[in-house]
Amino acid sequence: MSEEKKPLNFIEHIINEDLKAGYDPAKLKFRFPPEPNGYLHIGHAKSICLNFGLGEQYNAPVNLRFDDTNPIKEEQEFVDAIKRDIKWLGFEWAEECYASDYFQQLYEWAVQMIKDGDAYVDSQPSSAIAEQKGTPTRPGTNSPYRSRSVEENLMLFEKMKNGETREGEHVLRAKIDMAHTNMLMRDPVMYRVLHKSHHRTGNKWMIYPMYDWAHGESDYIEAVSHSFCTLEFVMHRELYEWFLEKVYTQGDVKPKQREFARLNLSYTIMSKRKLAELVRQKVVSSWDDPRMPTISGLRRRGYTPASIRRFAETIGVAKRENIIDVSLLEFCAREDLNKTAPRVMAVLDPVKLVITNYPEDQEEWLEAENNPEDDSAGFRKVPFSRELYIEREDFKESANRKFFRLSLGKEVRLKNAYIIKGEDVVKDEAGNILEIHCTYDPNSRSGSGTPESQRKVKGTLHWVSIKHAVEAEVRLYDRLFEVEAPDGDKDQDFMSFLNPNSLEVVRGYLEPSMAEAKEFEQYQFQRLGYFNVDPDSKEGALVFNRTVTLRDSWAKMANS
């Protein structure tokens, strides 16, 4: 087994260096810590793949921890959705944890900090606290309550905890340094009073810990060895470590926070707030609208877990701001679907084709290969008859030699069927093509082995027998925004960059085998792209989503 030495990212370098320095590999432990306040998106998928991938790589446990310290925004519904998405991606967590499970421990530590003179109750309104905070270039000033006695602090904190004070009346602050160059170190708030019911602790707690106080301590409680988060938390690291020192016991695992760049994808947005706005304003149908970059949206769009994991692997992990081109995501989808999706014929913009020399009442069931990339996929039968649909853009009355498709007087192969020759067109008064008439070569049937069937013709078209066709709604998606970085513009609102044509709904005609298609099944509509069955489908009323088109070098030529 020759180990191809895969290049390591900086996170793996950090872990390997720790290991080399004698860190016990059995103590390695990671975690994925979402706040259950919304749906996961492809950016979270990067983090999930990173953490759980590390777990697999180092044979270490990975906890799923819900960072549920703010009852105002969090709901059980999101907890469930997050768990479903992680499972769907194919990962298993070691333990399901909640920051809210640590409220008691956190509280006890806070009391200890008050006793040690490391925390105090501030009784000013948030506006006053904000003013005293200073600015990045000006030091802050001490709160008048900063030197309260331990007894008074303890008494007030107890009242806060018991719900005997109003929201906003007091907060507990760490006593650090109001002149610190890192603004987060200027006596950060540890607890606020919230008379709100929490989705897990109900009304038990009236005080809720802030992120900085809860996160590092939660990592510590769980004995997480390496705590990876995104770049905007770099400044928090100093505070993370300061809090940790206050509760740390020699010999315990001391979690190490390190930060990586979050994922940005071109032509979409990643901010939960902005995605929520798309849903609220009904720009999209829901959080799992196939145009959304949410994991549930991608799933509904037809992306596979394998393709998303592959994507995460390909983009890598670094500390540099980045915008990944969606074409890479699309590549990953095609790469996976090409190997697995059964091929099928469907016509989405039909024009009637009549084979004038084919007997009126005749029909044949021709053999079609399910997947040329997969020998085990087998064959199926497809009905052929005198009247077919072909794609409107597959015909031109007269064409140049670059056009490999059907035109008058030229020959083309009907996939899995016969070679035909364009003979005539029937138009209405406005000049619109109503029917195309052609003749077929009866000896040219695919796979018949006759010399006629071996003839090389330039083009091959997909088609559907009109009499046998299954109708379905087909949703064709395009990028949600018209610009690469919709939320990268300081002056213009991201909503102004919306692509008005991100969804086109058409009536499609499919080969009859598709009548049996099931929810979430994926197919390649030959020459068109990959499609999957949308859960909106009803008995006899199928709905398909286009996941991604096939690569199309003809379209590129034609458009240039």
Residues annotated as catalytic (active site), given as ranges: 35, 262, 272
SS3 state of residue 555: helix
SS3 state of residue 508: strand
Q: Any alpha helices (H) in 116-235, and if so which ranges?
A: 126-132, 150-161, 211-221
174 to each of 191, 210, 243, how far by Cα in Å?
9, 11, 9
Residue with tokens 């390909």: 314
Question: Amino acid letter at 27?
Answer: K
**CB closer to RNA out of 169 and 423:** 169
Question: Amino acid letter at 292?
Answer: M
Residue 232 touching RNA (CB under 7 A): yes
Given candidates 76, 112, 147, 181, which one binds RNA under the rule CB under 7 A?
181
Contact set for RNA, span 195-224 (CB under 7 A): 208-211, 214-215
Given candidates 301, 334, 468, 475, which one binds RNA under the rule CB under 7 A?
334
**CB closer to RNA out of 248 and 331:** 331
Contact set for RNA, span 139-178 (CB under 7 A): 167-171
Of the candidate spans 1-9, 79-87, 245-253, 275-283, the one that interacts with RNA by CB under 7 A turns out to be 1-9
Given candidates 184, 483, 495, 498, which one binds RNA under the rule CB under 7 A?
184
> Of 434, 435, 408, nearest to 421 (Cα)?
408
Q: Report the nearest approach of RNA to the CB of residue 21 (Å).
A: 13
Q: Report the nearest approach of RNA to the CB of residue 61 (Å).
A: 21
Residue 182 touching RNA (CB under 7 A): yes
Strands 379-385, 387-391: pairing is unpaired
Q: Report the nearest approach of RNA to the CB of residue 168 (Å).
A: 4
436/423 Cα distance (integer angstroms):
8
Residue 192 touching RNA (CB under 7 A): yes
Contact set for RNA, span 87-146 (CB under 7 A): 124-126, 129-130, 133, 135-138
**CB closer to RNA out of 138 and 280:** 138
Of the candidate spans 220-228, 347-355, 400-408, 423-431, the one that interacts with RNA by CB under 7 A turns out to be 400-408
Structural tokens at position 323: 């915008």
What are residue 315's phi and psi, to 5 degrees?
-75, -20
Strands (DSSP E) found in 375-465: 379-385, 387-391, 411-414, 419-427, 433-440, 460-461, 464-465
**CB closer to RNA out of 289 and 422:** 422
Q: Report the nearest approach of RNA to the CB of residue 496 (Å).
A: 19
Burial tier of 24 (Cβ tally within 10 Å: 0-12, 13-18, 19+): exposed
Q: Are 442 and 360 in contact (CB under 8 A)?
A: no
Structural tokens at position 147: 């030197």
Q: Any alpha helices (H) in 3-102, and if so which ranges?
A: 10-20, 42-57, 76-89
Residue 233 touching RNA (CB under 7 A): yes
Contact set for RNA, span 513-552 (CB under 7 A): 524, 526-527, 550-552
Structural tokens at position 187: 């006596």
Contact set for RNA, span 269-308 (CB under 7 A): none
119/242 Cα distance (integer angstroms):
12
Contact set for RNA, span 9-28 (CB under 7 A): 9-10, 13
Given candidates 447, 489, 496, 501, which one binds RNA under the rule CB under 7 A?
447
324 to each of 48, 289, 317, how far by Cα in Å?
17, 21, 12
Residue 335 touching RNA (CB under 7 A): yes
Contact set for RNA, span 303-332 (CB under 7 A): 314-325, 327-328, 331
Contact set for RNA, span 343-382 (CB under 7 A): 343, 371-373
Q: Report the nearest approach of RNA to the CB of residue 34 (Å).
A: 7
Contact set for RNA, span 464-523 (CB under 7 A): none
Contact set for RNA, span 402-421 (CB under 7 A): 402-405, 413, 415-417
Give 542's strand partners.
Answer: 472
